[in-house]
Amino acid sequence: MISGGFSAALRDLSPAFKQATGNTIVMISGPSMGSTPQAIPSRLARGESADVLIMVGYALDALIKQGRVVPGSRVDLARSGIAMAVRAGAPVPDISTVDAFKNTLLAAKSIAYSDSASGVYLSTELFPRLGIADQLKAKSTMIPAEPVGAVIARGDAAIGFQQVSELLPIPGIHIVGPLPAEVQRTTTFSGGIVAGARHLEAAKALLAFLATPVATAAVAKSGMEPITVATTASQTALARAELAPSGRLRVALAISSLGGPFWSAKDAAGTPTGVPVDLGKELARRVGVPVDYVLYENSGQITDAAAKGEWDVTFVPVDAERAAKLAFGPIYNVADATYLVRAGLTVESADQLDQPGMKIAAVANTTTMRGAQRSLKNTTVVGYQSVDEIISLLGKGQIDAFANLRDQLLPLSARLPGSRVLPGAFQQTKTAIAVPLGRPNALAYASAFLDEAKTGGFLRRSLDDHGLQDTKI
C-alpha cells in the first residue's frame, strides 16, 4: 500500500525491481491518514492485506504503535515539499515571499488541498498561523479521493496544493513553485513491513532495492529528495558505538517549569516531557537503541557532567566557554534574552537595572548568566541552581530581576502579578544539539539527525505539540 507522494517513483521502478528480483509489485493507493475508505489506516482496519507500506513517516509510526507494522522495519526513503499549482494557461500568482503568498491566498476565488499530510498542515497549522484561516474557510476544499492536480486541471479550483511529486504527473496544470521557505513543510516518506506479511523476503528486498542508485535516481526524477538508506545504515553502525556506548542512548535534560525549546518538564506522573525529550527519543529510535533520560537542574550542570561520562547527547545553548567542553552540532533555536522584573520595581530598561544595589538572578553557570554579567557593569548577577528557586525569590521580592529568555519569561510574568518583561535584549541565545568531546562519528550522525528533524517537520511538530507554535526554527 502506498500514498500518492511516492507513487510515481515506485511505478517507474516496478519493472527494474521485477528484473532484479523476480518479484512483481502490486500497488494499492491511498492517503497516509484520514478516515476515508481509501486511506491506508482504513484499509488495514478492515482487513485488507499488504506486505509493505510506503507513506508519510509519522503516520507509519502510528501504525507501528498499533502493532500493524513490524517495529524496527521503518526505512526513510525520500523527502518532499509542498507546491502550488494553477490550471494551465491561467495567470501565475506571486508566492515568492510569505506576504505575497498570503495575498495570493486571500485573492484566490477557490483553494483545493489534499486530505493527507500537506492538506492537514495547510488547514490546521499554516492558515491559522498566517491569521487568515477564517477568511479562507468558505472557499477552501479538502480533496479526499483524487489528486489535487486533477481538480485544478478541470477548473474546479483556482489554486491547489499538494506534494511536488503528486503534482508533477498531472497534465493540464502549471506548477507555480514550492511554498516560501519560511512556511514550507517537508514531509518524509518511509517504508515499513506489515506485521504478518505473506511475502516477507520480497518485502525486505523491496525496501533494500529502494536504497540503490537506480531507485534514488527515480525518486529524484519524481520531484522528491532521496534519502540514501545504505549510507545512513553505515553511518548508524559507526555512530552507535559512540552515541550509545552502553547500549542505551543517555539524553541529558535540564528540568524546570518554564518549558520552551531547551527546558524539559515533568508530567503529573513524573515522566520527562518536552522538545528535547521528543528529539532524544526519536534519535534513539533511529540509532536502534533504548533511551534513558539523565536529569539536571540546568545546562551548566549538564556541561560539567560531560567529562564524567554521564550522558551521550543533549540540547543546550551555545557559547564560547561551553564549546571548550562540548562538541556542538546544528543550532535549532535562536531566542532573545532579557529580564523579568519584580512587582513594584520602577525600571523601564535594562540600563536602569545596571546600578549598585540591584539584585539580579540567573541560572548558575549558563550562557544567559554569562551574557548578563557581560552587559551589567555596575551590579552583580547571582547564580542559582534551579529556576524554581529564582521564581520563589522574585515572587517574594527578595530579588529585583531574573535574566532568562523572553519566550520563557512572558508566560512566567502571568504567574507573578505585577512583574514585567523588559523590552530589548542583552543577547541572542542559540540552542543546539551537542555530544561530549572526542566522539566525531556521534557528532556527525547527531548533526545529520537534527538537520533532518528541522527540514522534515519532526521538530516543528514537536514544538507545536508542546504549545510553541510561535517559536521559530
3-state SS assignment for residue 454:
helix
The answer on 388 and 436 residing in a single domain is yes
Task: For 89, list phi and psi in degrees, rounded to 5.
Answer: 90, -15
Q: State the Cα angle at 406 between 400 and 412, rounded to 5°.
A: 65
Looking at residue 467, its pLDDT comes to 87
- Tell me, yes or no, whether 368 and 312 share the same domain: yes
206 shares its domain with 239:
no
Residues 307 and 366 in one domain: yes
Q: Are residues 73 and 86 in the same domain?
A: no
- Please choose, from the candidates 287, 329, 338, the residue with its C-alpha nearest in 3D space to the C-alpha of residue 447: 329
Same domain membership, residue 164 and residue 108: yes
Q: In degrees rounded to 5, what are phi and psi of residue 211?
A: -100, -5
Q: Give 420: exposed, middle or buried? Use CB within 10 Å, 0-12, 13-18, 19+.
A: middle
- This prediction's pTM: 0.54
- Extract the C-alpha cell encoding 198: 505473506
Q: Any bridge partners for residue 162, and if so which?
A: 83
- Say yes or no: 161 and 246 in one domain: no
* pLDDT tens-digit readout, 241-262: 889 999 999 999 998 877 778 8
- Asked if residues 368 and 407 have their Cβ atoms less than 8 Å apart, the reply is no
CATH number of the domain that residue 19 is part of: 3.40.190.10
pLDDT at residue 233, as a whole number: 59
Give the C-alpha separation, 67 to 60, whole Å.
Answer: 11
Cell of 329: 552540532
Query: HSE-up of 361 (CA within 13 Å, CB side)?
Result: 22
**Which cell numbers hold the place of 31?**
492517503
- Predicted local confidence at residue 207, as pLDDT: 86
Same domain, yes or no: 330 and 296: yes
* Judgement on whether residues 332 and 362 belong to the same structural domain of the protein: yes
pLDDT at 210: 84
User: What is the bridge-based pairing of β-strands 75-80 and 225-226?
Assistant: antiparallel
Reference 469, options 378, 461, 95; nearest CA is 461
- Identify the residue whose cell numbers are 516531557: 273
CA-angle at 441, arms to 436 and 443, nearest 5°: 45
Task: DSSP letter for 29, please.
Answer: B
Residue the block writes with cell 497549522: 125
What is the total count of domains within the chain?
A: 3
Set of cell numbers at residue 186 = 517537508
What's the confidence (pLDDT) of residue 274? Answer: 92
Q: Where are the beta strands (DSSP E) in 159-290?
A: 159-163, 173-178, 187-193, 225-226, 249-254, 265-266, 272-273
Task: Let me know whether 454 and 345 are in one domain.
Answer: yes
* pLDDT number for residue 185: 87
Count of C-beta atoms within a 10 Å radius of residue 50: 22
Residue 64 is predicted with a pLDDT of 94
Q: What residues pair up with 107 in beta bridges, in sequence order?
A: none
Cell of 123: 488547514
415 and 296 part of one domain: yes
Q: Same domain for 206 and 329?
A: no
- Structural domain harbouring 347: 233-473
Looking at 151, 183, 215, the residue that finishes a domain is: 183
CATH, residue 262:
3.40.190.290
Helix (H, G, I), strand (E, B), or coil: what is residue 171?
coil
Under-70 pLDDT residues of the chain: 213, 228-236
